[in-house]
Structure 1
């Protein structure tokens, strides 16, 4: 199968970020737990974060050979981070994690350009 995304490195790097984030959510490390607590994340959502983030990493990598899947994954990540931004706003948590959510949402949109 030919790799159709260009350049490839942003896709691979962002997939690695998603896999690392999934690992951090498996047994939440302190900074992740504090972030989830700050925005009052429900227990069900906390349990879903690891598989969602792992699936996002996989979708990004599979998108290297099926570009449509990569674009759909990026769109889903933009929506995910938009929800994260809204949760931070609702909780009046407008500090580092809020800025990170905005930045990662923007990165999701930019990485989608690699598939076009």
Structure 2
């Protein structure tokens, strides 16, 4: 069974990054608005991304204590950013926001999974 993350701090860092992203997305700055418009994500659905990021952060934090929860949340975060990358690719919106934000978070979440959970498998 997959236990809690070891080391724990990369998972905590990813949780803080997702929580911060959710908080910033409440009143999204221009670069986030451009990104969402660029991929054609409807404005009336923007709130769902905040909910997803908050739930992901909560899952990662819960996973620091409860076995299996963190790795599941981490895998879901990776899936989220894979879907976001596909949305960017499909829309042809491959500007700086894609490379820095989307792929950056995908790389971070993948690195956290590998660093924190491969030693527990």
TM-score, normalised to structure 2, is: 0.84
Uncovered stretches (5+) of structure 2, i.e. residues with no partner: none
Partner of 1:65: 65
RMSD across aligned positions (CA): 1.7
8 Å contact from structure 1 (residues 56, 77) kept in 2:
yes
How far is 1:104 from its partner?
A: 1.5
The number of aligned residues is 114
- Does the C-alpha gap of structure 1 residues 49 and 12 become closer, same or farther in structure 2, counting only changes over 3 Å? same
Q: Which has the higher contact order (CA 8 A, sep 6+)?
A: 2
- Structure 1 position 82 matched with structure 2 position 53: no
Greater mean alpha carbon deviation, residues 32-41 or residues 3-12 = 3-12
Query: In 1, distance between residues paired with 2:45 and 2:82?
Result: 15
Structure 1 length normalisation: TM-score? 0.87
- Structure 1 residues not aligned, in runs of 5+: none
